[in-house]
Amino acid sequence: MKYLSTRAPSNGPTHSFCDILLEGLAADGGLYLPVSYPRVNGDLLDEWRRVLAGEGYAALAHRVISLYVDDIDSDDLLGICRRAYDAENFGSTQVVGVSRIGDGQLWIGHISNGPTAAFKDMAMALLGELFEYELTRRDRRLTILGATSGDTGSSAEYAMRGRERVQVFMLTPAGRMTPFQQAQMFGLKDPNIHNIAFDGVFDECQDAVKKVNADVAFKARYSIGAVNSINWARLLAQVVYYVALYLQMTGSNEEKISFAVPSGNFGDICAGHIAREMGLPIDRLVLATNENDVLHEFFSTGRYRVRASQEVAATSSPSMDISKASNLERFVHDLMGRKPEITTDLFDTQLSAHGRFSLRRTEAFQNLAERYGFISWNSTHADRVQTIRGLWCDCGILVDPHTADGIHVAHHLAGQIHSPIVVLETALPVKFADTIIEAVGVMPPVPERFKDVMDQPRRVVDLPNDPEAVKAHIIEQLG
């Protein structure tokens, strides 16, 4: 399997999986995609169903990921998957699970059982093992530069902590994360973890990361890599849980299910798009946003308009307080027939010059829902609180605010969907105690592994909204 940037000509040079694993963002500013998506059929899904039931999630991950990776020995890749998805880290060999909400159409896909109680652990656990394997094989070191709106940072840092060949510099939007999220990150003592409170919103953190990556000489000197969902390996790891949840929900490949996904940066649901393109029998991909509804606007009108930083609302589902959805470029590239000149014009020329583009009048957009299964809606703070309260009072189910966004939107759109809807859980409620208390009047349960997290001293550096300040800090720390 070979990979191309979304902005590279189809006859341009291709790259191996391990090369793009370490590179992250392509040199031309695009995002990597496989030259084509492998297809799965009913026989293969039947085999995977037996593997998941008998050998567990790690073995399934090995089977799925092997379709995309031909430059890691199969036995080595199986070992990587087993170390990433061991029962000690995720609570069971099945790793993920589903439970029904009452007796209705909606289910919850439980994908946040990992070390930091967020679905991001599903990808980061694998990414940490992949990085260690490939850096050791090449005798190299890597400097990870990332941005987080909430959970990516803690998941990445927990996955990379203590790894000798990796340094992590993580930008967080100052004052925009919950106290628990900050404590998870800033309380880490590992010398290879560097937290930066950046004077800006998440989009500006993400812009700074991209601008540092654009400095080719700096990127080469410090071996800058990525763990954000701009890294293809992140999305590949997430494809696996769509497969696992589908297999757990069905006994026959004739059945279809839908997924409702809270989304800000379009990474989680982009993995669902990839799984659907592979042939996984997904009916609808239901995209849920919060008040920062740039993605809902795009999927409902065809207009993609990036908001100015002052327009990005600080909400009670902060991991979705985003207006520049990095992974949308991957989907639009597929939508528009994988024509790199169109992708470059939209995301480089038009977006840079005007902060927006529109596909409303294109034939591709007119056929979007039918061809790709996407529908969308948004959610507000009042919707989240009402959803959390209703689930708790009626079913004894407690969910975090982002998952509540997904449930609210799934419920709103359920009449348009004729299949079971699995709402992807985003995190455990403990990470968002203030909203939980507002909704139900009780403190969410604190898992034993987090009982002292709020008491740890904090290690974090404040930096101005300036990519040069980020580079200077990296130089200061690494020399």
Rounded Cα distance, 3 and 275, in Å: 17
Residue among 124, 322, 338 at smallest CA distance from 231: 124
**211 included as an active-site residue:** no
Strands 32-34 vs 3-5: parallel, antiparallel or unpaired? antiparallel
Residue among 402, 405, 444, 450 at smallest CA distance from 426: 402
Q: How many residues does the chain have?
A: 479
Which regions of 314-437 does DSSP assign to beta strands (E)?
356-358, 374-378, 421-424
Q: Which of 2, 120, 210, 451 is catalytic?
A: 120
Backbone angles phi, psi at 106, to 5 degrees: -95, 140
Whether the CB-CB separation of 426 and 181 falls below 8 Å is answered with: no
Q: In this structure, what token pair is assigned to residue 192? A: 């290879």
Q: How many CB atoms lie within 10 A of CB 33?
A: 21
- Integer angstrom CA distances of residue 89 from 82, 109, 254, 265: 11, 18, 33, 26
Rounded Cα distance, 31 and 224, in Å: 15
Question: What does the longest C-alpha to C-alpha distance in the chain come to?
Answer: 59
54-74: string of b/e by CB count within 10 Å (b at 16+)? eebbbbbbbbbbbbbbeebee
Q: Report which residue type is found at 208.
A: A
Backbone angles phi, psi at 51, to 5 degrees: -60, -45
**Is residue 194 helix, strand or coil?**
strand
Rounded Cα distance, 198 and 473, in Å: 12
Quote the crossing angle between the two packed helices 202-214 and 467-478, to the nearest 10°: 60
Sheet bearing 282-289, strands edge to edge:
97-100, 106-110, 421-424, 257-262, 282-289, 374-378
Whether the CB-CB separation of 397 and 141 falls below 8 Å is answered with: no
Rounded Cα distance, 108 and 421, in Å: 8
- Integer angstrom CA distances of residue 360 from 299, 301, 303, 333: 10, 6, 6, 15
Whether the CB-CB separation of 207 and 322 falls below 8 Å is answered with: no
Residues catalogued as catalytic: 120
